[in-house]
Amino acid sequence: MHDLPERLRPANVEQQITHAAIEKLRQVQPDIVLVIKGDQLGEEWWHAVAASGARHATWMYDEFRRMRYSDKTFNLGLLGPIASYSPADVENLKSKGYSALEVPLAYDVYTPVIPAAENKITFVGARYPGREAMLKALHTAGLPVKAYGKQWSRHWWDVARTRNFTSAGIEVGRDLDRSQAYGVMANSPATLNIHGDQDGFTMRTFEASGVGGLQIIDRSEVERYYEVGKEVLAYSSQEELIEICQRIFAEPSWAQKVREAGQKRTLNEHTFDKRIRVLEQLWQ
């Protein structure tokens, strides 16, 4: 249902989800409820959580501007203390008197990695013009690249459901589940992490390095979490990205050191086990 355009979803699907969540809440009778995003749950859910007596909090994996929450149409106080990966949202919430905590995303060490033989620079994710331009630039420079995802795929079903009738002109693959994506990133010479207009850092930032991949990211601010040049590689232009990729193939021992250092940093600091210790502050 989530993949369908909103106009094609059954009108009562979110009501059904809300009622199912409330029923589970009553069955389990938890002491603590941590809601992840939750903006498709109706207000009835939030009142049920409050009435249950459970301590509760909400963790945002996205910016408020992309969600249905609005302090003009929804009482954000119902969400309980809020954690967010977005520094800007945290500051905005605090300025309005809400309890908010910045908590970045993380790598899930409990998701199995399905091995994959991949000898190309990879990108796993949605097809946006900026991303496509970067991958085409690498391809034009003679570097082997491959993009994975339903919007890149030329499989007839993916073309039909995404309506992306034009080819990107590079090698592509179909959608990958998380375990498959982990395997592709881990076994690629390098994997790209190209952001859109996010304020915070996507989960891929921690996954790519966590699985042992050599991560090339488009935001130097990642230095908040990794040492750029030693644990991850960052670029600010097509020319710089091409140079980085050329060096990866020319100096495999250097690339391996960056890969190993990034994974070590991730496992030491950026797993969900580490994040939950921070999130516990929300209900203590």
pLDDT over 70, % of the chain? 96
Which pLDDT value is given to residue 75?
Answer: 86
More confident residue, 122 or 42: 122
Secondary structure string (H, E, C) spanning 37-73: CCCCCCHHHHHHHHHHCCEEEEEECCCHHHCCCCCCC
Which pLDDT value is given to residue 2?
Answer: 58
Domain boundaries, the chain: 6-103, 121-269
Which pLDDT value is given to residue 283?
Answer: 86
Q: What is the pLDDT of residues 97-122, one digit of tens each?
A: 999 999 999 999 999 999 998 999 99
CATH node for 6-103: 3.40.50
pLDDT over 90, % of the chain? 81
**DSSP character for 110?**
T
| pLDDT exceeds cutoff 80 at 11 | no
Which pLDDT value is given to residue 181?
Answer: 97
Averaged confidence pLDDT in the chain: 92
CB 93, CB 82: distance < 8 Å: yes
pTM: 0.88
Secondary structure of residue 228 in the 3-state scheme: strand
Which pLDDT value is given to residue 278?
Answer: 93
Q: Please report which confidence band the pLDDT of residue 5 belongs to, taking 50, 70 and 90 as the band edges.
A: low
Q: Please report which confidence band the pLDDT of residue 175 belongs to, taking 50, 70 and 90 as the band edges.
A: very high
Q: Please report which confidence band the pLDDT of residue 1 belongs to, taking 50, 70 and 90 as the band edges.
A: low
Q: What is the pLDDT of residues 218-246, one digit of tens each?
A: 999 999 999 999 999 999 999 999 999 99
| pLDDT exceeds cutoff 70 at 3 | no
> Hey, what are 15's tokens?
């009501």
DSSP assignment of 232-263, as one string?
A: BEE-SSHHHHHHHHHHHHH-HHHHHHHHHHHH
- According to CATH, the topology of domain 121-269 is Rossmann fold (3.40.50)
Which pLDDT value is given to residue 267?
Answer: 98
CB 185, CB 191: distance < 8 Å: yes
| pLDDT exceeds cutoff 90 at 23 | yes
Q: Please report which confidence band the pLDDT of residue 9 belongs to, taking 50, 70 and 90 as the band edges.
A: low
Q: Please report which confidence band the pLDDT of residue 65 belongs to, taking 50, 70 and 90 as the band edges.
A: confident
Q: Please report which confidence band the pLDDT of residue 178 belongs to, taking 50, 70 and 90 as the band edges.
A: very high
Q: What is the pLDDT of residues 78-89, one digit of tens each?
A: 999 999 999 999
Which pLDDT value is given to residue 122?
Answer: 97
Q: What is the pLDDT of residues 117-158, one digit of tens each?
A: 899 999 999 999 999 999 999 999 999 999 999 999 999 999
Instruction: Tell me whether the CATH fold assigned to 6-103 matches the one assigned to 121-269.
Output: yes
